Amino acid sequence: MPPILSLLALALLLRSCTAISWALIFSNGNTWIEQVFTIHVPPAPPASVTTGPWYFWCGLQPSGGGVIQPVLAFMGPEGSQVNPNPPFAEVYAMNLWALPWNYGDSGAPAVQESAGIWVDQGAQIASSVSFQGSQWIQSANVISGAASGQSVSLSTPDSYFQNTSPSGDNTMMTVCESELYGDQISDWDFTVTFTDVYFRAASSDGTEALCQTATDHSDGNGYVSFSGFSMFDDETCYWSSITLSPP
């Protein structure tokens, strides 16, 4: 248990979470090597909300620190957009991020951020994260809505993270969360839904048992609920939906 507690403490320090956060963490040496999911763009926050940013994401966190994450952001895009001046309000943007294990330290690699995609309410974005050889590969493709057809991708060398090798990664933690900043987080009043969610592990060792621990619950800052769990294969857990809700 100590390695898990250390990982959790580091994750909270690195990306302080102010709303619901849920994770599956291997303690037997198995690792997560792929996520595939579709995120549904929620309604805009109330018009009175002028502080942020608010982030909604699923991603993978190596045991040595850092994170690989497709992120849907309100007031969050910091780079260029592939579809500037869209024919809808610029409320949410989808970006791909990679933070190195020593994020914030002198001499640390730069945070990676892909170009963003402006997306409208109700749009669906097919997203993926996978470990391929010595790189992490992310992608986001808008499959419905006014920005349909827009896509971004990002490749991150495994040197961004500690204790990886060409034969395997060290990502024992898969996580989904709403990560809210600013003075108005209590105004969060909408659900955020991920559908067709696949989490694939490096082996079947403990995978089904760990995924079966995913049950509807609250951490005091919001709720997470699950539907349609099954095993796609011995290494891959599937949910028809995972939903994050305000408290």
Quote the number of domains for the chain: 1
* 11 has pLDDT over 70: no
Does the residue 13 lie in any domain? no
pLDDT for residue 8: 36
Instruction: Check which CATH number belongs to the domain holding 47 and give it.
Output: 2.60.120
Domain that holds residue 85: 18-245
Q: What is the pLDDT of residues 113-164, one digit of tens each?
A: 899 999 999 999 999 999 888 888 999 999 999 999 999 999 988 777 755 5
Q: Residue 129: its pLDDT value, please?
A: 93
Residue 169's pLDDT band, with cuts at 50, 70 and 90, is low
pLDDT tens digits, residue range 76-118? 766 789 999 999 999 999 999 988 777 777 777 778 889 999 9
The CB density around residue 78, as the number of other CB atoms within 10 Å, is 12
Is position 66 within any domain? yes
- What number is the average pLDDT over the span 158-181? 74
Residue 231 to residues 1, 193, 214, Cα–Cα distance (Å): 26, 20, 13
**Cα–Cα distance measured from residue 105 to residue 90, given in angstroms and rounded to the nearest whole number:** 33
Report the pLDDT averaged over residues 234-242.
98
Tokens representing residue 4 in the block: 């898990």
Decide: helix, strand or coil at residue 24: strand
Cis peptide before 166, with omega less than 30 degrees from 0? no
Residue 176 has pLDDT above 50, yes or no: yes
Q: Tell whether 8 is covered by a domain.
A: no
Residue 9 lies in a domain: no
| Domain-embedded: residue 208 | yes
pLDDT of residue 56: 96
Query: Is 164 within a domain?
Result: yes
Q: Quote the pLDDT of residue 4.
A: 32
**Does residue 89 lie in a domain region?**
yes
Tokens matching residue 245: 């809700």
Q: Is the pTM for the entire model greater than 0.85?
A: yes
The CA distances from residue 232 to 23, 28, 98, 145, 174, in Å, are: 19, 21, 27, 28, 17
Q: Which of 146-150, 169-173, 184-188, 224-228 has the lowest mean pLDDT?
A: 169-173
pLDDT digits (tens, 9 = 90+) for 33-65: 999 999 999 999 999 999 899 999 999 887 777
Please report which confidence band the pLDDT of residue 14 belongs to, taking 50, 70 and 90 as the band edges. Answer: very low
In a domain, 112, yes or no: yes
